[in-house]
Structure 1
């Protein structure tokens, strides 16, 4: 059996990441023709098309989507092997792509990165902040931070700590509508849905002793941004389930008021995710270790 075409696999991973042949060619410092030939060569060997090609757009076929994760793993492990050979003689260098939620990224990740880059001047970071779902493999992300209940996946996940969440509204809202005594009471309230979850209209609760409650919520706002809920919350338009780091100032100032403190809300945690595979470049390992230590401590001290 012939050896795999490792170069073509690595080029395929780069095309997936940059979403174009020309973008991959520029990133790899090769010609567009070299990229095109490598993809054609790989498709011929696999007996399947990897991309749908039009004059305006390049999209993955079903086969291409299924193989993209393998391609990224091949490229990453190749980079890791090369870096391991030079690791003892030089400090980690190169680019690391990081994805994080918007507000948490600004409040916690950006300051941590400033310290990390001071310690590792040879490393560069491409930080992408968004509350929207990020395709870690498809977007070529090396490290992603997520605050959620994670579904099963092939991604490697490390739980860094719990994130405290609150059921909150303005005091005026509670005075007008009434404060719930049990999670089931929320079914009759105007509750805002955060759509970056698997079940945005379902809130799950648990309290000491093992009692659980599941509530189907409804309300005037559905959004993929917790920040976007705050003006409507302060205006007394409804109820939201939001993490402490997002609402701590409003709670301290009395603009928002939590209820049902004896109930915990789901199994929300801060997770660090990486693509599948056991080998990673030294620069990525360095950042993973740094963020894990710093953010784990932050979760404990700040009670996120």
Structure 2
């Protein structure tokens, strides 16, 4: 047990890179910390850090030992917290990166519900198009849409959103209603793309027959909200999840077209830097996983 306590103190000293700051964080006197680290080095038989009056510097053995110790300490803290959470609700600040339009259309009511279930949790949300760095930035979780690019993170798929085709009544009156997917090649199409043309893959609901059509349009966008807005302003055809356009469809600003066809489903993931999640983050991901599936 003593060796585990010394490992905890070693990790705190390395994280602070200062005996004084580690003493402030742990409540253990500076002299005691120094003595315990020296005893740990003696027990291991290797020097873990070089000490000077100005700074601390890890040895090669110290760096290796720190990485191992940190995982052990994190697991021990997580086990302690998870047991404690059986008797108490999680607390703290949940920092999450959310895609703007998906958060507004889908997540806002769910987060409100989650907040009522867990009043001890506060929220710090970053709603920007950029993909935050979960390793270097202080986020607990990132919700991401689409295919994954970063294989170093831990991904949990929450749901898949089916996509449909929509256009405004005025646009359809002016340019005609497409009767089959190939007709989209002659229409203004709004969507994410890096060139002036792109390929849309559609699937017939009845038999999953596939149809690929190269579409084009004058607008190149990276905002779902702006695409929806342009479609409602008679600027073209849009391919997106039903909930994103539910209000526009309900008011008649947009109509679904080619109702027998759907676009490829968009996967939704919860991304974390580690599997060792505090209770607030684990409960948030579990909640979204259960609730999102009911509205997709």
SS at match of 2:295: helix
2:291 — aligned with what? 294
SS at match of 2:138: coil
2:280 — aligned with what? 283
1:201 — aligned with what? 198
Shift of 1:78: 6.6
2:50 — aligned with what? none
2-structure distance, mates of 1:9, 1:223: 46
1:133 — aligned with what? 131
Q: 1:41 to 1:232 in 2, by over 3 A?
A: same
- Is residue 191–residue 227 contact of structure 2 (8 Å, CA) maintained in 1? no
Superposed CA deviations along residues 97-145 of structure 1, whole A, max 9, x for unmatched, are 1222223323432332233233323322212223443434343332222
Structure 1 unaligned spans of 5+:
13-24, 31-35, 48-66, 300-304
- Bigger Cα displacement from structure 2, 162-171 vs 218-227: 162-171
Q: 1:298 to 1:236 in 2, by over 3 A?
A: closer
In the superposition, the TM-score normalised over structure 1's length comes to 0.67
2:46 — aligned with what? none
1-structure distance, mates of 2:74, 2:181: 46
- Is residue 203–residue 265 contact of structure 1 (8 Å, CA) maintained in 2? yes
Shift of 1:29: 7.1
- Is residue 164–residue 261 contact of structure 2 (8 Å, CA) maintained in 1? no
- Is residue 166–residue 265 contact of structure 1 (8 Å, CA) maintained in 2? yes
Shift of 1:298: 2.7
2-structure distance, mates of 1:201, 1:110: 31
In the superposition, the TM-score normalised over structure 2's length comes to 0.68
2-structure distance, mates of 1:205, 1:75: 49
SS at match of 2:246: helix
1:246 — aligned with what? 244
SS at match of 2:293: helix
2-structure distance, mates of 1:251, 1:269: 23
Count of residues in Structure 1 that have an aligned counterpart in Structure 2 = 252
- Is residue 105–residue 244 contact of structure 2 (8 Å, CA) maintained in 1? no
1-structure distance, mates of 2:143, 2:113: 18
1:56 — aligned with what? none
1:144 matched to 2:142? The reply is: yes
- Bigger Cα displacement from structure 2, 210-219 vs 150-159: 150-159
1:218 matched to 2:219? The reply is: no
SS at match of 2:253: coil
SS at match of 1:179: coil
1-structure distance, mates of 2:143, 2:239: 20
Shift of 1:44: 10
- Is residue 167–residue 260 contact of structure 1 (8 Å, CA) maintained in 2? yes
Q: 1:228 to 1:192 in 2, by over 3 A?
A: same
Mapping 1:1-304, distance limit 5 Å: 6-7=11-12, 41=58, 77=75, 80-81=78-79, 83-84=81-82, 86-88=84-86, 90-150=88-148, 153-195=151-193, 201-207=198-204, 208-277=206-275, 279-299=276-296
- Is residue 8–residue 41 contact of structure 1 (8 Å, CA) maintained in 2? no
- Bigger Cα displacement from structure 2, 150-159 vs 166-175: 150-159
CA RMSD of aligned residues (A): 3.9
Runs of 4+ in 1 over 6 A off after TM superposition: 42-47, 72-76
Superposed CA deviations along residues 251-289 of structure 1, whole A, max 9, x for unmatched, are 122211222221220122333333343x21122112222
1-structure distance, mates of 2:59, 2:293: 42
SS at match of 1:222: coil
1:60 — aligned with what? none
